[in-house]
Amino acid sequence: MVQFRNTRRAFIRSATQKISLLALGSQAIPALAEELEPVEELLPPEGILLEQPLAKEQIIAAKKLGIALVGLGGYAGGQLAPALQETEHCYLAGIVTGTPQKAADWKTKYNIPDKNIYNYENFDQIIDNKDIDIVYVVLPNAMHCEYVIRAAKAGKHVICEKPMAITVEECDRMIAACKDAGKMLSIGYRLHFEPYNQEMMRLGTKKIFGEIKTIEAHDGMGDTNGWRLDKKLAGGGPLMDVGIYCVQGCRYTTGLEPIAVTAVEGPKTKPEKFKDVEESLDWTLEFPGGIKAHCKTSYTKNMNLLQANAEKGWFKLSPAYPYRGQQGETSEGKMNFPSVNQQARQMDDFALAILEGRATPVPGEMGRQDVKILQAIYKAMETKKRVEIV
């Protein structure tokens, strides 16, 4: 055995430098492969005796990436910040808000240093902050594009809440900005990390019950308010908010992309409230192989279902899309999976993707495809015609 005399500070500094290189993404990994396995130059704290050099996995496990939340609304405060108290590979490092009182409250609650608190005017100064590795954009839909691009230009990896943007053109700009900066872009599709929805993916794509024939996907809420009723900020009504879960559910259950859509806007029971956006919407997605998905969304009716009907049986989740409490069943019996913190698993996976130099399973391209489908649904609703999705 060899006794290393280097100090703890030198050890941590060296390890952090290696991990920072890993965070550059997959392009950096080939050049580092020989250097990191084993990493003989990384020395342990003073006085520690090691028989074996540190493995790459041990270096990754020693690093937690800092996340800054941009926009401190209900989702950031009610779900993401609490989830970041449970994550293993990332932590709440900073915040961006235009409300001084929120900044003060969050600083106290989460012990955030002043240097990691930004507003929308000085946001670009985040480029100089080494504590922050990831920026999570949790703003109204119409603001996603601007802040994803600014975050990428500031040298940060980015998570963007769904829907990714309100137009495909915006999505293209966001993807290009992150690629140009050499940074990863992920969309906040938490259900890809939730066991019941993962089982729907498995049952459908592995054809456990044979070929899928039809899908029912419904998601609605009894009421809403604020920016979600402003088309300029939201890009639309419930389709852009909860309806996107139906689109996602159909895509990941079949493993296929829709080829056409028809859609009908529901009646407005509150025309003054919903003067800018739809109150409800029904649409049918056509998939290859003759599969049809019948979907519904609403801002005045609670709904929560994802069901696939196949040749040899059926499988469903009800509820399917909430933050917790999913319940599942198949034609052969109940599903039984543990409850998890979806947001914690989502953010941890992105941090690991950065550290390991692998792709995120929910990239910007997935978000772009959803926006393309959403736009096709609105076109079908407005024209009252079948619209092909190409």
Q: Which residues are catalytic?
A: 162, 245
Q: How far is CA 136 from CA 73, 225, 240, 360, in A?
A: 13, 23, 19, 15
- Which residues are within 8 A (CB) of 81 and not within 5 positions of it... i.e. 6 or more apart? 69, 92, 106, 110
Give CA–CA dist 272/109, Å, rounded.
Answer: 39
- The beta strands (E) that lie in 188-226 are given as 212-220
Give CA–CA dist 150/135, Å, rounded.
Answer: 10
SS3 166: coil
Q: 167 — phi, psi (to 5°)?
A: -140, 155
CB of 203 within 8 A of CB of 252? no
> Does residue 163 have a cis peptide bond before it, meaning omega lies within 30 degrees of 0?
yes
CB of 308 within 8 A of CB of 289? no
SS3 260: strand
CB of 194 within 8 A of CB of 326? yes
Q: How far is CA 89 from the centre of its chain?
A: 16
